[in-house]
Amino acid sequence: MIKEETKSLLRKIVARFVDREVKPVANDLDAAEEFPWDLFRRAADLGLFKVRYAREKGGAGGNATLYNIVCEELARGYLSLAAITAMQGLMCTDFIYKYGTEAIRDKYFHPAMRGEVVGAFCLTEPDGGTDLTAIRTMARREGDRFVLNGVKTWITNAPVAKMFTVLSLTDDREGIRGANFFLVDRDMPGVQVSKKFPKMGTRASIISEVAFEDVSLPLDHRLGDANRGIGNLMRILAEIRTMTASLSLGLARAAYEDSLRYVQERVAFGKPIGKYQEIRAKIANMATEIEASRLMLAWVTDKLDRSERCLKEASMVKYFVSEAACRACDEATRIFGAYSYSNEYDVNRYYRDTRFLLFGGGTSEILRDIIARELGL
């Protein structure tokens, strides 16, 4: 069990980093639409990528609660950096950490924890989206190798990634039941990365398409036992959704805190706008949903730390908090009025970045269906 003092200390460390080093440059980084190498390496120096991994395997010995504190605080400063850290500290390294050989961990996992290489998680395909049964990427066994062919899209970090964790089919007859994850090195012949996609928000979290053409993989680059890819994905899906809720909470807090300051400073018709009933209602609603989000996150991260099944609860928290963040950022733009239309104001970036939260980790529409199914409908 992690002590409250440890949680508080970690939050203070990350908050100090955010306030001193992240927030002052966030808008400039967003305008440049480039990977934030300096902040990425500083996050590695602080040990933020390794929080959820065991100390004896090169991690920091934390848990889901601590990891989500990191995600929340980073998102309060700059959602792009938080998304990059979430990718590096969970999706792109989890299967390497759990299923990679010692040699593979030495070559890929440990350098990733030190911030020496960037990783990416390749799940989505052009014709698939959320529908995993539509996956067409195939890794066929040929003697002592797998040969990988296929295309993945909307891949976070791909333009700068050194390593890719790729979900692939292995047998036409088995379909998705025969899927596995594979580790692919960018320098392997046949790996092609497109130019980055121009995006509405999270602009420093760069994204592109990745194509694999007859990529030859050693057998030990299959991560996990044969035909266990989807089962292994399901085991971390609750963590991914909870992490996305933490990103949402951090962004909601940023919108709320900026709005609270602004309504006390901005004067209209002879008094601060925070004295007007409509504005007070907006602030009250934001604060209430943020506190409800905190409680939901604590509830779900506790379940994760106890290794309890929580597909329903993780779906609930991702759905609720991401929608609450969208409402908070929308209200912030209404409070700031015309100023929010300028890219010079942080609330403009918050509003654009919220759209990322609606898709990552599952759409609200998919999550509501999962929740209903878990309730027995």
- Percentage of the chain modeled with pLDDT above 90: 92
pLDDT greater than 80 at residue 128: no
- Number of residues written out for the chain: 377
**What is the arithmetic mean of pLDDT over 137-147?**
96
> What are residue 121's DSSP bridge partners?
165
Contact 230, 170 (CB under 8 A): no
Provide the CA 71 distance to its chain's centre, in angstroms. Answer: 8
Helix (H, G, I), strand (E, B) or coil at 375: coil
pLDDT greater than 70 at residue 103: yes
CATH architecture of the domain with residue range 4-118: Orthogonal Bundle (1.10)
**What is the arithmetic mean of pLDDT over 177-206?**
96
Contact 269, 341 (CB under 8 A): no
Compute the distance between CA of residue 346 and CA of residue 254 in angstroms, rounded to an integer.
Answer: 9
**What is the arithmetic mean of pLDDT over 262-267?**
98
- 318-362 confidence digits (pLDDT tens): 999 999 999 999 999 999 999 999 999 999 999 999 999 999 889
| Residue 205 DSSP class | S
Determine the pLDDT at residue 13: 97
Contact 146, 196 (CB under 8 A): no
Compute the distance between CA of residue 344 and CA of residue 145 in angstroms, rounded to an integer.
Answer: 52
- 8-28 confidence digits (pLDDT tens): 999 999 999 999 999 999 999
Determine the pLDDT at residue 1: 67
Element (DSSP H or E) covering residue 182:
strand 180-185
Torsion of CA 217, 93, 114, 60, to 10 degrees: -140
CATH architecture of the domain with residue range 120-229: Beta Barrel (2.40)
Class of domain 236-374: mainly alpha
Contact 282, 335 (CB under 8 A): yes
Compute the distance between CA of residue 231 and CA of residue 146 in angstroms, rounded to an integer.
Answer: 21
pLDDT greater than 90 at residue 160: yes
Contact 108, 161 (CB under 8 A): no
Averaged confidence pLDDT in the chain? 96
- Percentage of the chain modeled with pLDDT above 70: 100
Query: Where in the chain are the domains?
Result: 4-118, 120-229, 236-374
**In 10 A of CB 364, how many CB atoms?**
17
Compute the distance between CA of residue 32 and CA of residue 34 in angstroms, rounded to an integer.
Answer: 5
Poorest-pLDDT segment among 2-11, 33-42, 114-123, 200-209? 2-11
Contact 69, 7 (CB under 8 A): yes
**What is the arithmetic mean of pLDDT over 159-185?**
94
Determine the pLDDT at residue 130: 75
- 278-322 confidence digits (pLDDT tens): 999 999 999 999 999 999 999 999 999 999 999 999 999 999 999
pLDDT greater than 90 at residue 134: no
Neighbouring residues of 238: CB distance < 8 A, sequence distance ≥ 6: 300, 304, 310, 311, 313, 314
> pLDDT grade, residue 2 (50/70/90)?
confident
**What is the arithmetic mean of pLDDT over 145-171?**
96
Compute the distance between CA of residue 213 and CA of residue 215 in angstroms, rounded to an integer.
Answer: 5
**What is the arithmetic mean of pLDDT over 74-83?**
98
Q: Which amino acid is at 237?
A: L
Which single residue is written with the structure tokens 């996990």? 224
